[in-house]
Amino acid sequence: MAKPFYILQRFLRRVQLLLLFLGVAYIMAGSVLLLQRSGQVVSQRGGPSLPPMPSLPSLHKAPGEGRVYGSARSQMAANRERDPDDPSRGRAGPHWLVSRNLEIRLLRRRWFHHLEQESQVERGPVPRKVGHKGTYVGCFLDDKDNRALGGNVFYDFRKMTSTLCQDTCSESGYRFAGLEYGAECYCGNRISTSRTREEDCNLDCKGEKGSPCGGVGRLSIYKVEELLPGQRRYRNVRYRGCFERPKNITAAFLVHSIQPNLTLQSCIETCTIKELPLAVLRRPDCFCGYVSSRFTLHQPAEERYCAHANATGPITSVDREYYQVYQTPVQDSRCTERKFLPEKSNTLVALTSFPGAGNTWVRHLIELATGFYTGSFYFDGTLYNKGFKGEKDYWKSGRTICVKTHESGRHEIEMYDSAILLIRNPYRCLMAEFNRKCAGHLGHAAEQHWKSNEWPEFVSSYASWWASHVLDWLKFGRQVLVVHYEELQGALFLQLRHIASFLNISITDERLLCAQSNQDGHFKRSATQKQGFDPFTPEMKLLIDGYIHTVDSALRDRNYTGLPQEYLPR
């Protein structure tokens, strides 16, 4: 009996070894095959990684592609002859203006591939211990209905640190800085909720390991570094203009103080401490409050009425009826809360524009005015990290109020049920996009960039895209609301109401006024740096002006208002 059992045991051992050998051989063979295939892909691409975006050489001179582009031009010309509705048919534009051609498609692909690469290479700082300027106070309760700190709010989902939050709040005139979810920063001058257990603030800051950054519904609060009133340096203080005294001044403002030695600095400090965004002054009176239906800032008066607002001399009876108005560093918090749509929408609305036309700024305004997040056809990590939470949401989810896109092919346009078409002066668009390409969302291109060959090649390639983008959306868009960037700047309240009506969202005047008060946002590039020369040559102007005339005619042919007069002449 023992012998058969021994034989069986030896057989099983041999089978086990054989199976092990076969398994190892199978894995090795698979690895070799995978390496071979990877080598083939790399050889086809010409390198081990995706090539970086070129410095936009002129696509009209692409080597080896002239025959393809020539056939595309011929085909597009034939299509225009057959299509009587083509907006570019019969017009003497500087070039053919159909974005379906291969040049525009290739340009768009390169642009978006470059945008994706920018988001992918973004990295957070190396985790390290940082000495804090202020004093840690504790962990406090916080939710959207009962905020611990009621002042400014900003986000950084990648690089938030307690020091960054404290510095931002201090520069805005606040005494306390609070961090939540590891990435959200809240400011305030008083704490409105009760303290909770320290272990509830169990999240580290995204950019600073080992530093408490709140938790879920919990705020880690710091008292910022104390500065004497004369040493405070506020940012974002902005002069709003000279305005007539409201009829019921007591109802229009929440705070009134009389200061015999009133100065602009003292009035702004008074309103900042009270966490109010408007400082309204006429010696010796200082008022603080919000933009409201009683004080809308829609009709500024002539500056001569406020010329002596802080002078020590006598004030005439006429001058007493006018006040200087300043925006304090305090953010108007009445419209900062945003959320996804409570129910998924069956209607897909595009917010479409040429790159550099202010799409991000308009998204900011729409979110403030409606209280709902906007989405994006792409994913820009920089925008997401700064608070555009809809950036990471699937663009067809139906949870956002509208979707950002720069696409302009027929197939891409017909995916949307309606669209807000944002148009900006092409001269400004091209400069803004070139600044973004060279120096990011908020920077400015250096002088050597403007004087290099990159700039004329950029204009040559991108100018036709500006025109073809508008023409395609006018032709293939199902329901299009045209919004001019310049008109939105000049009449923000009225234009936002039109946009909200188009989105079928009911909003209050208070919400619109709040959006107007917070209109700059975090992605507004500072005033354009003045070059010592005009970056646009006569040849560039001739090219761009031709596109402007073509787009203007296309708008008028479809019963839209033409382009603003400031587009021409330049």
Q: Please work out, in degrees rounded to the nearest 5, the angle formed at the alpha carbon of residue 370 by the alpha carbons of 369 and 374.
A: 105
Average pLDDT over residues 95-111: 54
Q: Are 321 and 280 in contact (CB under 8 A)?
A: no
Work out the average pLDDT over 515-523: 76
- Is the Cβ–Cβ distance between 516 and 298 less than 8 Å? no
- State the average pLDDT over residues 52-76: 35
Per the CB < 8 A criterion, the answer to whether 450 and 431 are in contact is: no
Task: Tally Cβ neighbours within 10 Å of residue 212.
Answer: 22
Q: Give residue 328's pLDDT.
A: 87
Query: Quick check: 136 and 144 in contact, CB under 8 A?
Result: no
| First-residue to last-residue Cα distance in the chain | 106
Q: Which residues make Cβ contacts (< 8 Å) with residue 240, sequence separation at least 6?
A: 278, 297, 300, 325, 326, 327
**CA gap 523, 388 in Å, rounded:** 11
Give the model's confidence band at 8: pLDDT under 50 very low, under 70 low, under 90 confident, else very high. low
What percentage of the chain carries pLDDT values higher than 90?
29
Q: Indicate the pairing of strand 278-282 with strand 204-205.
A: unpaired
CA torsion sign, 443 to 446 to 449 to 450?
positive
Tokens representing 511 are: 């919400």
Cis peptide leading into residue 569 (ω within 30°): yes
pLDDT per residue as tens digits for the range 335-357: 888 899 999 999 999 999 998 89
Q: Rounded to 5, what percent of the chain is helix, strand, coil?
A: 40, 15, 40
Q: Is there a contact between 276 and 255 (Cβ–Cβ < 8 Å)?
A: yes
Q: How confident is the model at residue 544 (pLDDT cuts 50, 70, 90)?
A: very high
Question: Which residues on adjacent β-strands are paired with residue 243?
Answer: 323
Q: Is the pTM of this model over 0.95?
A: no
Alpha-carbon torsion, ordered 523, 524, 528, 534, to 10 deg: 70
Q: Which two tokens stand for residue 61?
A: 């001179």
Return phi, psi of residue 556, to 5°. -65, -35
Helical ranges in 96-178 per DSSP H: 102-121, 162-171
pLDDT at 425: 94
What number is the average pLDDT over the span 434-444? 74
Q: Which residue has the higher pLDDT, 309 or 556?
A: 556
Higher pLDDT, 428 or 381: 428
The burial of 395, by beta-carbon neighbours within 10 Å (0-12 exposed, 13-18 middle, 19 or more buried), is given as buried
Q: Residue 51 has what pLDDT?
A: 35
The pair of three-digit structure tokens given for residue 253, joined into one six-digit string? 């403002």
Lowest mean pLDDT among 159-168, 299-308, 313-322, 478-487: 313-322
How far is Cα 519 from Cα 521, in angstroms, rounded to an integer? 6
Report the sign of the C-alpha dihedral through residues 554, 557, 558, 560, in that order.
positive
Burial 522-553 (b: 16+ CB within 10 A, else e): ebebeeeeeeeeebbeeebbebbbbbbbbbbb
Rounded to 5°, angle at Cα 536 from 532 and 537: 105
Q: What digits encode the pLDDT tens for the residues 152-173?
A: 777 777 788 888 888 888 877 7
E-strand spans in 344-388?
349-353, 375-376
Please name which of 204, 263, 205, 279 lies closest in space to residue 230, comparing C-alpha atoms: 263
List pLDDT tens digits, range 194-223.
Answer: 899 998 998 888 888 777 889 888 999 999
